Amino acid sequence: MVASMSRKKPGASRRTFNISDDLYLKLQKVAYRERLNATQQLERFLDRVLADYEKENGIKIDEIQVPVDED
């Protein structure tokens, strides 16, 4: 089975993605230990991963231009 998580930011569209139940359970446990909800814990983890990516590749992710489909 796959869990679905969504996150709503002010002024943004809802983003939903699927993760495995095992991964979601681990995320919940770490979040509980850190007194955060699962979304906050995932956000912290992704911030660290993206910061490492920027350091390793010598780039700023915010400066990357992604083409937008107008369909």
Give the model confidence (pLDDT) of 34-71 as tens digits: 777 777 878 888 899 999 999 999 999 889 888 888 76
Please give the residue range of the domain that contains residue 48. Answer: 2-6+17-63
Question: Looking at the 3D structure of the chain, how many domains does it have?
Answer: 1
The pLDDT of 11-38, averaged and rounded, is: 73
Q: Is residue 50 part of a domain?
A: yes
Per DSSP, which regions of 1-71 are E strands?
2-7, 15-20
Q: Is residue 12 part of a domain?
A: no
DSSP code for 21: H
Q: How far apart are CA 32 and CA 34, in angstroms?
A: 5
C-beta separation of 47 from 36 below 8 A: no
1 band by pLDDT with thresholds 50, 70 and 90: very low
Q: Is residue 56 part of a domain?
A: yes
Number of H helices, E strands in the chain: 2, 2
Q: Is residue 70 part of a domain?
A: no
**How many degrees, rounded to 5, is the angle at CA 7 between CA 3 and CA 12?**
145
Q: Check residue 3 and give its pLDDT.
A: 52
The pLDDT of 1-7, averaged and rounded, is: 51
